[in-house]
Amino acid sequence: MELTVWLALWAGVASFVSPCCLPLYPSYLSYISGVSVQQLKTDTTKEIRLRTLTHTLFFIIGFSVIFYALGAAAGLLAELFQQWKTLISQLAGILIIVMGLVLVGVFKPQLLMREWKPNVTRRAGYLGSFLVGIGFAAGWSPCVGPILSAIIGLSTTERGLWLPMITAYTLGFAIPFFVMAFFLGSTRWILRYSPIVMKAGGAVMIVVGILLYTGQLNKLTIWLQEITPSWMIV
């Protein structure tokens, strides 16, 4: 479980820095806070920062609701079909491999590369930021969709795994978003490395998918525990 939770955490970070999401965040922050992008980058007053951070928090809560709902649905299905655990693991492995190939760029299925954005109109106040967060998550952008699908698929392989997996993924996505809201003007350098991060993440997903399909993922976890120094184990 420790290995898969860490994978979910880094998958959340990879989703955040994805090249088709990262450039949009300043616009999202401007939209939910009601402050222009230029002002967000130049105005460092306490009032503007506090306003941006509080709206960002409600935005994060909004997309977290969708992430947890999807994870809970996958966890319920895994519980119902527990007797076919091996088959579910193999199917999840295939899904993860396919999603990894999408991120690496081997192929780009049009169905997965589309965005399904509901028409969410921003309302005044924090409720509007919450609703925009729901709309963002429900949109399944070309980068977030494949990664989140892989994490949900992986969470179905063990009973009760969906909650820590989705929590780790959400934290991996939310914490950098919150940090970016505070240091918006100094995050442009991340854009240079986002395609590399995405391809590296896709390669890791392919390896994990192969290990899961062949039933070797648990053996990898045991091996990592054996080589981990005792002082690193909490």
- Provide mean pLDDT across the span 205-232: 69
- Provide mean pLDDT across the span 161-179: 89
> According to the model, what pLDDT value does residue 32 have?
77
Cα–Cα distances (Å) from 50 to 77, 131, 227, in that order, read 41, 20, 44
Q: What percent of the chain has pLDDT over 90?
A: 6
Q: Is the pTM of this model over 0.85?
A: no
Cα–Cα distances (Å) from 31 to 21, 26, 59, 73, 126, in that order, read 15, 9, 11, 31, 12
Cα–Cα distances (Å) from 56 to 114, 120, 125, 132, 179, in that order, read 25, 16, 12, 10, 10
The answer to whether residue 41 scores a pLDDT higher than 50 is: yes
User: Of 99, 75, 107, which Cα lies nearest the Cα of 207?
Assistant: 99
The answer to whether residue 203 scores a pLDDT higher than 70 is: yes
Q: Give 80-103 pLDDT, tens digit per residue.
A: 777 787 787 788 788 878 888 877
> According to the model, what pLDDT value does residue 188 have?
56
Mean of the per-residue pLDDT values of the chain: 75
> According to the model, what pLDDT value does residue 234 have?
45
- How far apart CA 115 and CA 21 sit, in angstroms, is 12
The answer to whether residue 27 scores a pLDDT higher than 80 is: no
- Provide mean pLDDT across the span 62-85: 84
Residue 145 or 162, more confident: 162
> According to the model, what pLDDT value does residue 230 have?
58
Q: Give 127-142 pLDDT, tens digit per residue.
A: 888 888 888 777 656 6
- How far apart CA 137 and CA 119 sit, in angstroms, is 13
> According to the model, what pLDDT value does residue 124 have?
54
- How far apart CA 152 and CA 73 sit, in angstroms, is 9
The answer to whether residue 204 scores a pLDDT higher than 70 is: yes
What stretches of the chain show up as alpha helix (H) in DSSP? 2-16, 25-33, 37-42, 46-80, 85-104, 110-113, 126-138, 144-155, 162-182, 190-213, 217-227
The answer to whether residue 24 scores a pLDDT higher than 80 is: no
